[in-house]
Amino acid sequence: MHLIIAEKHDAAKRIAEILAGSKPGSERVAGVDTYSFGDKVVMGLSGHIVGVDYPPEYNNWQKVDCKDLIRAEIVVRPIQEKIIAALRTLGKKADRITIATDYDREGELIGVEALKIVQEANPSLRADRVRYSAIVKEEILKAFKDSGKIDFELAASGEARQIIDLVWGAALTRYISLTSGRLGKEFLSVGRVQSPTLALIVDREREIQSFVPKAYWEIYADLEKELRVQHAKGRIWEKAEVDEIIARLGPVAIIKSIETKPRIDKPPTPFDTTGFISAASGIGFSAANAMRIAEWLYTNGFISYPRTDNTVYPPSIDLVALTRLFLKGAFSGEAERLLKGKMIATRGKRSTTDHPPIYPTVPVEKSELKDDQWRIYELVVRRFFATLAEACVWDATSLKVDIGPEPFRANGARLVEAGWRYYYPYSQAEEHILPEVKEGERLRVLGHSVDAKETQPPARYGQGKLIKLMDDLGLGTKSTRHDIISKLYARAYVQGNPMRPTNTAYAVVDTLQKYAPTITKPEMTQTLEKDMTLISERNIKEDEVIEKSRVMLTSVFDELTSNQDGIGQSLKDGLRTDKIVGTCEKCKSDLIIRRGHRGTRFIGCSGYPECRFTLPLPRFGTVLVTDKQCEMHGMFHIRIINKGKRPWDLGCPHCNFLEWQAKKSQEKTDPAKTTAEGKPKAKRAATTKKKAILAKGDGLVNVPGIGPKTLEKLALAGIKTAADLAQAKAGSLAKMTGISAKKIVAWQEAAGAMS
């Protein structure tokens, strides 16, 4: 049997359909869907199926010295038990395995992880590797025809990253959290890439806050023929000079010169990952959401691989033939127009051999995609067309005008040839047509105006701009940068877009910059990133890079431990402001977020016990105090962040509590809020949900002792039928669900008797 391993389930299904030439057979192996045709079986993983971690004896944060984590043993733990079981089962039957995961550092490591598991079951297995950049028929067939060797060095560079990030993240996070007293779900996260990135955001915010605006003035004059001109000096920094200029202006303007010449806007370069995320950010997508959608489009064969540093199309892509595919469908007009031109592709500064730039692989109709998917797909198509289009040409006109002794000017632009802008409307440039005038012509001055302005602080970083800066500084990789930004939001270090740091971010970055600046500077992570590339190029061993990183981290800890008292106090002082929600209406003390003995959270008065004013808070999620303030109660608005969910803007806690009280009171008195049986609608909905869960149980509901809540736990672990339960490993299932193995064995016996 020939076993083929793809990175994800959808990719496995699509590859199987392409190779089979028809619909392949399907079978569940250890609860995992596989696809078969002839002697071939294709199965998908779910990203990493194993991960690096510390042994259990290092789990207790209070009992383990953080510095001991630097040289502690690293073990490999299973993440996806069912997939591992399926690999072992299939591996015993196979005589050949082909790794068909995504071709990059991460994909190579994922493939090698799967290979090692299969080889444990069958050491004599032959192994090879296929590489492709798009899951379309031509690329997949060619990849399997030209299979090669597995790149173990590339996988080793990915493994080195995992280990280094684990060690740095675990040791520093524990140290900072313990020193500050922020434990549990509110621990403070510190990372090798995350912390320098956060420092960029905090430093930019400090620039903004410390910026001192400087006043300046601009002088304009309105002339006949609807011509508006500006004084040639532009910004004038002294008001006295403005007044002197105004005093010298006469009633007539004379056209001194007219100069018109062509201005060329070159077409944009092809999308690499950084350029794509930046463009997607410009049309309202977060970095993480843009990449999630792009990966879905890639897996379903609509675009090429979205993780790439390449900005040069390789000769292997027939750009004309690819454009012809779009002569039918939503972009037929653009494709027809493009094919009439020269179609010379632009070239960016970076050319790599692993993957081409991001491009559309096939045409698709808007009705076949969800709205967000279509918008990202359209962005990729239009960028591809723009890179093959001709330049945009303008007629740029410059007028010089004298009003009395004072020089004025006006600039205009008329679009001559839209070129690439016809295909790519995201980068708008407006025409400004000047009226027809002649050199030496005299025009009456209808009036003048003085605009008083101030210089502006630097702009905050949007996600696209920050990812571009991270790329320039060597922070992270094309595959990880959007995840780093997502973590900053999830940890309540930043809010909004453009990003603003929270008080927590200030506390952490200020402390690290003062006592251990190495962690907040890009140079350290730049060095390690270069070393990991050298591993993939066979110029240095994985163990050498890991050891080098441990030595660097040890020196960081020397800085930290020698300043422990100062670090603890600095963090506590900074973090206290992060918990202040407002001022107590009763006693004017600070209102602070507190936690009760049983894990509940509430807003309490710092004047306790004399003042007992409190407000409730949701039990789960990270509480973020925003800078928006309630006009009525003077309290800052609250945002609740739960991992994997949209943030919940709770608003003013006092207003929210009053609304909740009013709603509860209304439910008691308003019959419309209850059902005919007198049950509240919320309870009726819960009952309906339970019935739906029972209906999906497919036999499990008949197993004694299994109720709706247990069904939910089992479903999350992939157990949906009595047969699934009977075949599962009791120990593994117990770990995944939190249910005792003894109970599971009893249920398995009952399920086995039923099936």
Cα angle, residue 317 at apex, residues 312 and 318 outer, rounded to 5°: 125
Query: pLDDT tens digit string along 304-357?
Result: 999 999 999 999 899 999 999 999 989 999 999 999 999 999 999 887 767 899
Q: Is 464 exposed, middle or buried (0-12, 13-18, 19+ CB in 10 A)?
A: buried
Task: Specify the pLDDT at position 657.
Answer: 84
Confidence label for 166 from pLDDT (cuts 50, 70 and 90): very high
Arithmetic mean of pLDDT over the chain: 88
Task: Specify the pLDDT at position 88.
Answer: 94
Task: Specify the pLDDT at position 676.
Answer: 44
Q: Taking 80 as the threshold, does the pLDDT of residue 686 lie above it?
A: no
Query: pLDDT tens digit string along 42-58?
Result: 999 988 999 999 999 99
Amino acid at position 688, single letter: T
Q: Taking 70 as the threshold, does the pLDDT of residue 28 lie above it?
A: yes
Ramachandran bin of 452, using left for φ above 0, alpha for ψ from -120 to 50, beta for the remaining angles: beta
Decide if 310 contacts 357 (C-beta within 8 A). Answer: yes
The active-site residue out of 103, 305, 423, 493 is 305
Which helix (H) or strand (E) element contains residue 595?
strand 590-595
Rounded to two decimals, the pTM is 0.79
Confidence label for 13 from pLDDT (cuts 50, 70 and 90): very high
Which helix (H) or strand (E) element contains residue 414?
strand 406-417
Distance CA 228, CA 220 (A): 7
State the CB neighbour count (10 A cutoff) for residue 707: 12
Beta partners for residue 258, in sequence order: 399
Decide if 15 contacts 140 (C-beta within 8 A). Answer: yes
Q: Taking 50 as the threshold, does the pLDDT of residue 699 lie above it?
A: yes
Confidence label for 620 from pLDDT (cuts 50, 70 and 90): confident
* Domain 215-266+394-454 indexed as CATH 3.60.20.30: no
Share of the chain above pLDDT 90, in %: 61
Segment among 369-378, 507-516, 716-725 with least mean pLDDT: 716-725
What is residue 629's three-state secondary structure? strand
Distance CA 160, CA 82 (A): 26
Q: Taking 70 as the threshold, does the pLDDT of residue 508 lie above it?
A: yes
If one compares 96 and 595, the residue with the highest pLDDT of the two is 96
CATH code linked to domain 273-388: 1.10.290.10
Task: Specify the pLDDT at position 678.
Answer: 46
Task: Specify the pLDDT at position 427.
Answer: 79
Residue 499, CA atoms < 13 Å, CB-side half-sphere: 30
Q: Taking 90 as the threshold, does the pLDDT of residue 225 lie above it?
A: yes
State the CB neighbour count (10 A cutoff) for residue 635: 24
Q: Which two tokens stand for residue 503?
A: 């008080």
Amino acid at position 223, single letter: L
Rounded average pLDDT over 622-628 = 80
The conformation of residue 66, written as its DSSP 8-state character, comes to G
Q: Taking every pair of C-alpha atoms in the chain, what is the biggest distance, in angstroms?
A: 104
Catalytic status, residue 305: yes
Task: Specify the pLDDT at position 361.
Answer: 95
Confidence label for 599 from pLDDT (cuts 50, 70 and 90): low
Backbone dihedral angles phi then psi of residue 673, each to the nearest 5 degrees:
-85, 0
Give 554-558's long-range contacts (Cβ < 8 A, gap of 24+): 554/67, 554/70, 555/518, 556/172, 556/516, 556/518, 556/519, 557/66, 557/67, 557/70, 557/171, 557/175
Query: pLDDT tens digit string along 464-488?
Result: 999 999 999 989 888 889 999 988 9
Most confident of 214-223, 430-439, 724-733: 214-223
Residue that has been written with the tokens 């959401």 in this structure: 289
Q: Which two tokens stand for residue 496?
A: 């909004």
Task: Specify the pLDDT at position 688.
Answer: 47
Q: Which fold has domain 690-754?
A: DNA polymerase; domain 1 (1.10.150)
Q: Taking 60 as the threshold, does the pLDDT of residue 679 lie above it?
A: no
Segment among 271-280, 328-337, 558-567, 588-597 with least mean pLDDT: 588-597
Query: pLDDT tens digit string along 296-309?
Result: 999 999 999 999 99
If one compares 346 and 753, the residue with the highest pLDDT of the two is 346
Q: Taking 50 as the threshold, does the pLDDT of residue 677 lie above it?
A: no
Rounded average pLDDT over 576-599 = 79
Q: Taking 70 as the threshold, does the pLDDT of residue 63 lie above it?
A: yes
Task: Specify the pLDDT at position 553.
Answer: 93
Ramachandran bin of 704, using left for φ above 0, alpha for ψ from -120 to 50, beta for the remaining angles: beta
Task: Specify the pLDDT at position 352.
Answer: 73
Residue 631: closest CA among 651, 613, 611, 614? 651
Cα angle, residue 627 at apex, residues 625 and 628 outer, rounded to 5°: 105
Q: Which two tokens stand for residue 418?
A: 């839209």
Question: Do strands 96-100 and 126-129 pair parallel, antiparallel, or not at all (unpaired)?
Answer: parallel
Give the C-alpha distances (Å, rounded to integers) separating 137 from 21, 146, 197, 308, 416.
9, 14, 40, 21, 41
| Domain ranges across the chain | 2-45+80-150, 161-210+463-573, 215-266+394-454, 273-388, 584-668, 690-754
Q: Which two tokens stand for residue 637?
A: 């608005």
Task: Specify the pLDDT at position 140.
Answer: 95
Task: Specify the pLDDT at position 15.
Answer: 95
Pick the CATH number of 2-45+80-150 from 3.40.50.150, 3.40.50.300, 2.60.40.420, 3.40.50.140: 3.40.50.140
Task: Specify the pLDDT at position 597.
Answer: 66
Return the C-alpha torsion angle 539, 542, 543, 545, nearest 10.
70
Distance CA 6, CA 522 (A): 35
What is residue 409's three-state secondary structure? strand
String of DSSP letters for 157-203 = HHHHHHHHHHHHHHHHHHHHHHHHT--GGGPPP--TTHHHHHHHHHH
The alpha carbon of residue 166 and the mean position of all alpha carbons in its chain are separated, in whole angstroms, by: 20
Query: pLDDT tens digit string along 564-586?
Result: 888 888 887 777 776 788 888 88
Decide if 363 contacts 216 (C-beta within 8 A). Answer: no
Q: Taking 70 as the threshold, does the pLDDT of residue 690 lie above it?
A: no
Decide if 84 contacts 735 (C-beta within 8 A). Answer: no
Q: Which fold has domain 161-210+463-573?
A: Topoisomerase I; domain 2 (1.10.460)
Segment among 73-77, 398-402, 433-437, 636-640 with least mean pLDDT: 636-640
Confidence label for 457 from pLDDT (cuts 50, 70 and 90): very high
String of DSSP letters for 497-536 = TTTEE-HHHHHHHHHHHHH-GGGGSHHHHHHHHHHHHHHH
Task: Specify the pLDDT at position 682.
Answer: 47
Residue that has been written with the tokens 């000769």 in this structure: 315
Rounded average pLDDT over 159-186 = 88
Beta partners for residue 262, in sequence order: 395
Task: Specify the pLDDT at position 751.
Answer: 66
Confidence label for 661 from pLDDT (cuts 50, 70 and 90): confident
The conformation of residue 251, written as its DSSP 8-state character, comes to S
String of DSSP letters for 71-120 = GS--EEEES-HHHHHHHHHHHHH-SEEEEES-SSHHHHHHHHHHHHHHHH
What is residue 213's three-state secondary structure? coil
Most confident of 153-162, 522-531, 621-630: 153-162
